[in-house]
Structure formats: C-alpha cells, structure tokens
Amino acid sequence: MAKYITISTSGDPGNAHINIDLILYAETNSGTEGTIYLQDGTKKITVTGTNLTSGFGENVNKALVLAAQTSWTNVVFPVDLEDDMTVTALTIA
C-alpha cells in the first residue's frame, strides 16, 4: 500500500500529497526555498515559503522515516512545519 507525506500550503488551501516511494530526500536551500528530490533523478519538487531554514528538509526526511516505520493502515504523514514555517507553493520541474 502506498504511503504519503502531506505538506500544507497557504497559497492553495489544502494539502499536497506526495508518495513516499517517489522521494529520495529533501533539503533546505534557503529561508525561502527547499527541494524534494524524486527517485528518477530527473525531477524535483521546489518548495517556496518563509522561514524554511527552521528545519524544512529535516522535517520532510523525518516524515519519510515515520511513514516507513508504521503500520500499513497509517498511510498519511504530515510534514511538521512548526510554528514559523509557511509553504506558499510547490513546483515540479
């Protein structure tokens, strides 16, 4: 069964669901940009927002580990954006 991380965005109400089987890892590039690298190596998801240096990449990676360690009936894991992080957009390139 597929498992997903979810990222809450302020620019588009609701959550973006990303299949964890497609993700290699995530990193924070700056306070306003992070990147989620996808397995095929040719695509990535660019995340824009505010205060992302507060742990965005680390929190995505933590959500991936939690998703992998839990029961097959728990399929959605939110990325903890903490109190000061805001994601405004996700772009696949």
Per the structure, the count of domains in the chain is 1
DSSP 8-state class, residue 76: E
What is the per-residue pLDDT across 30-78, written as a single tens digit (0 to 9) for each?
A: 999 999 999 988 899 999 999 998 899 999 999 999 999 988 788 999 9
Q: Say if strands 76-78 and 4-8 run parallel, antiparallel, or are unpaired.
A: parallel
Per the structure, the complete domain to which residue 11 belongs is given by 4-92
Residue located via tokens 């996700």: 90
Q: What is the pTM of this model?
A: 0.90
What confidence score (pLDDT) does residue 70 get?
A: 85
